[in-house]
Amino acid sequence: MNEVLSAISDRLAVRVRVSVGRTEDGALTTAIKDDVLTLLGVRADGVASIVDLVADGRAHARRRARALLREHASCEAVEIWRGGALLEKVVRQPA
């Protein structure tokens, strides 16, 4: 059984393909089929004040990170994560 789930973030709707099934004992299982990246907008004090999701790959995540920096003056950087691994940190460019 497969479903498409939608995750709504600040201004972006992300569609994520998820495989849903059951184990032999009837427990529900899920597996994300897309490469979902999490973007964290980080302030100078280290607090992550913004969270966004991207399921279109790393190039799209970089573009979205730069857009978040333009939209949110409080963010000094946007971190791009896959699961528990930090892939990249996009920092605000000096004016």
| Residue 32 placed within a domain | yes
pTM: 0.64
| Residue 95 placed within a domain | no
| Residue 61 placed within a domain | yes
Per the structure, the complete domain to which residue 80 belongs is given by 2-90
For the chain, strand residue ranges (E) read: 2-8, 13-22, 28-32, 37-43, 48-54, 75-82, 85-91
pLDDT of residue 6: 37
| Residue 10 placed within a domain | yes
| Residue 65 placed within a domain | yes
For 61-94, how does the pLDDT look when each residue is reduced to its tens digit (9 = 90+)?
A: 999 999 999 999 999 999 999 888 899 999 998 7
For 9-62, how does the pLDDT look when each residue is reduced to its tens digit (9 = 90+)?
A: 334 444 555 667 888 888 887 665 557 888 899 999 988 888 888 877 888 899
| Residue 36 placed within a domain | yes
For 5-24, how does the pLDDT look when each residue is reduced to its tens digit (9 = 90+)?
A: 333 333 444 455 566 788 88
The number of folded domains in the chain is: 1
